[in-house]
């Protein structure tokens, strides 16, 4: 009897296929070649811009070239925002330029304006301020993002950017400056969008680079009034259009179910968008192709969605959820890659409780990559696929190490040179594992009733 207990169980029948897939992925250059092509042939691709239209053509062609069985576009429209010119300087005896960048959705200043600066440590302090101390001034909020592997510090500093410009308007400020919401140590400011759901209109708003924010705070520390001149030429200009680019590989089974992965095709305009979210785009495209290239395709179809204009209000994701809503039952499970190009280090899940043993199987398959299942909270599905998750689609989050992500994110340092090809291939290995596991399975992972 004791001997019986020592006998090892037979290995999981999927393990051999998945191990070989992981090995192939880690030695495969498809993702890197796609990223090189996207960033050099297309470059920056802000929603609705010429670069964005080029990116859509690029993605459609790339999917055809990779052998996707079907590729199609889904129209998306949104208010078109443009950045034209931006500058600021400290006035007075210590006059000097301040490096900054306008926040997405900011109105322009209508030429240079100058006003005294009213400083606040964080958004809470600003919200509590007497409007009389702010009216007619340029408000400044200086909260600093904390660096961490899970990137949690970003969510804490984003409200000063997304909500701050509306608070400033309600208090009668003429403009808002913030300390950049990222951790960029190289002196480049961090853009990102102002909320699209707050009531009212925002004031002109821009983010100072960390060195510029330090310089402004140093000037303010003297206690004497500090005046800044600000000139932002930017704003909305009619309707912008773009497309979600969708491609599918057929599975071998006769089912209309598919596994969905993807990222967002648009980027900010300051870098070439290699990290946000070129990396997510190419990782999921390459992973889908490698799984489809197996001698025997998995049972279910594989869908890749490259979402339009995520950066300025999740326009592609919302539009996709609205158009695909009645087909949402075909989305058996999804995973979105949109946290940069750092190595994936853990995963989270959101599936029906009764199929969690299937997730243990995914954990076993990801073990050789040292990617454990984190059960501290359910997966979110990301900004875009999160819109389908809200309808009940089950999701897995493959979390990237975000320790360095916010040094690059939304800045001029988001460029190809800052992506490590080995990390990229590693992440493809994680995605092929997820895709194979979900597509070969016949388990219904959901629908998961929306919990929030």
What is the binding site for Zn ion (CB under 5 A)? Answer: 276-277, 338
Rounded Cα distance between 362 and 432, Å, is 11
Cβ distance to Zn ion smaller for residue 231 or 338: 338
State the nearest-atom distance from the C-beta of 310 to Zn ion, in Å: 6
- Reading the block at residue 36, the tokens are 């090189």
Rounded Cα distance between 118 and 226, Å, is 9
State the nearest-atom distance from the C-beta of 193 to Zn ion, in Å: 11
| Bond prior to 133 in cis (omega within 30° of 0) | no
Q: Residue 91 in 3-state DSSP?
A: coil
| Bond prior to 329 in cis (omega within 30° of 0) | no
CA dihedral sign of residues 21, 25, 29, 34: positive
Helices assigned H by DSSP within 137-244: 152-162, 164-170, 210-221
138 Cβ contact list (under 8 Å, min separation 6): 115, 116, 117, 118, 173, 174, 175, 176, 177, 228, 230
State the nearest-atom distance from the C-beta of 276 to Zn ion, in Å: 4
- Judge whether 441 and 365 are in contact, CB under 8 Å: no
Cβ distance to Zn ion smaller for residue 121 or 152: 152
State the nearest-atom distance from the C-beta of 373 to Zn ion, in Å: 24
Cβ distance to Zn ion smaller for residue 269 or 277: 277
Cβ distance to Zn ion smaller for residue 83 or 215: 83
Beta strands in 121-265 (DSSP E): 138-141, 175-179, 205-208, 227-249, 258-264
Cβ distance to Zn ion smaller for residue 169 or 281: 281
- Judge whether 451 and 352 are in contact, CB under 8 Å: no
State the nearest-atom distance from the C-beta of 315 to Zn ion, in Å: 13
- Of 378, 369, 422, nearest to 397 by C-alpha is 378
State the nearest-atom distance from the C-beta of 269 to Zn ion, in Å: 14
- Reading the block at residue 83, the tokens are 């950045």
State the nearest-atom distance from the C-beta of 97 to Zn ion, in Å: 29
Rounded Cα distance between 435 and 288, Å, is 7
Cβ distance to Zn ion smaller for residue 154 or 258: 154
State the nearest-atom distance from the C-beta of 425 to Zn ion, in Å: 20
State the nearest-atom distance from the C-beta of 179 to Zn ion, in Å: 21
Pairing of strands 344-350, 96-97: unpaired
Cβ distance to Zn ion smaller for residue 21 or 194: 194
Cβ distance to Zn ion smaller for residue 19 or 195: 195
Question: Beta partners for 302?
Answer: 249, 259
Cβ distance to Zn ion smaller for residue 272 or 338: 338
């Amino acid at each position: 009897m004791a001997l019986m207990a020592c006998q090892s169980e037979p290995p999981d029948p999927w393990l051999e296929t998945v191990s070989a897939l992981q090995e192939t992925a880690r030695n495969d250059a498809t993702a890197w070649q796609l990223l090189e092509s996207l960033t050099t042939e297309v470059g920056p691709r802000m929603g609705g811009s010429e670069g964005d239209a080029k990116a859509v053509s690029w993605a459609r062609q790339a999917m055809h070239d990779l052998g996707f069985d079907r590729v199609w576009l889904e129209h998306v429209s949104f208010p078109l925002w443009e950045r034209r010119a931006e500058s600021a300087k400290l006035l007075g005896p210590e006059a000097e330029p301040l490096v900054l960048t306008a926040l997405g959705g900011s109105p322009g200043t209508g030429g240079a304006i100058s006003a005294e600066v009213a400083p606040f440590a964080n958004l809470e302090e600003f919200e509590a301020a007497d409007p009389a101390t702010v009216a007619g001034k340029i408000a400044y909020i200086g909260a600093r993002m904390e660096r961490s592997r899970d990137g949690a510090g970003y969510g804490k500093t984003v409200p000063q950017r997304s909500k701050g410009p509306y608070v400033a308007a309600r208090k009668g400020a003429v403009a808002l400056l913030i300390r950049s919401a990222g951790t960029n140590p190289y002196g480049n400011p961090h853009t990102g969008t102002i909320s699209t759901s707050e009531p009212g209109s925002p004031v002109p708003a821009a983010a100072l680079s960390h060195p510029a924010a330090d310089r402004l705070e140093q000037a303010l520390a003297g206690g004497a009034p500090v005046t800044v001149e600000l000139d932002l030429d930017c704003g909305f200009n009619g309707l912008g259009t773009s497309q979600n680019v969708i491609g599918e590989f057929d599975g071998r089974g006769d089912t209309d179910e598919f596994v969905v992965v993807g990222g967002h095709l648009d980027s900010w305009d300051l870098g070439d968008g290699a990290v946000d979210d070129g990396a997510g785009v190419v990782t999921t495209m390459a992973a889908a192709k490698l799984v489809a290239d197996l001698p025997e395709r998995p049972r279910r179809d594989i869908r890749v969605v490259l979402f339009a204009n995520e950066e300025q209000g999740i326009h592609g994701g919302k539009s996709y959820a609205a158009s695909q809503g009645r087909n949402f039952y075909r989305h058996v499970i999804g995973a979105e890659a949109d946290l940069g190009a750092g190595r994936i280090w853990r995963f989270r899940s959101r599936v029906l409780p009764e199929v969690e043993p299937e997730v243990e199987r995914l954990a076993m398959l990801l073990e050789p990559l040292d990617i454990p299942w984190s059960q501290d909270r359910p997966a979110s599905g990301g900004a875009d696929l999160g819109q389908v998750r809200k309808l009940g689609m089950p999701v897995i989050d493959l979390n990237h190490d975000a320790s360095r992500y916010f040094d690059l994110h939304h800045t001029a340092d988001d460029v190809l040179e800052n992506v490590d090809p080995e990390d990229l291939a590693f992440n493809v290995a994680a995605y092929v594992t997820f895709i194979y596991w979900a597509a070969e399975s016949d388990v219904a992972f959901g629908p998961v009733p929306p919990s929030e």
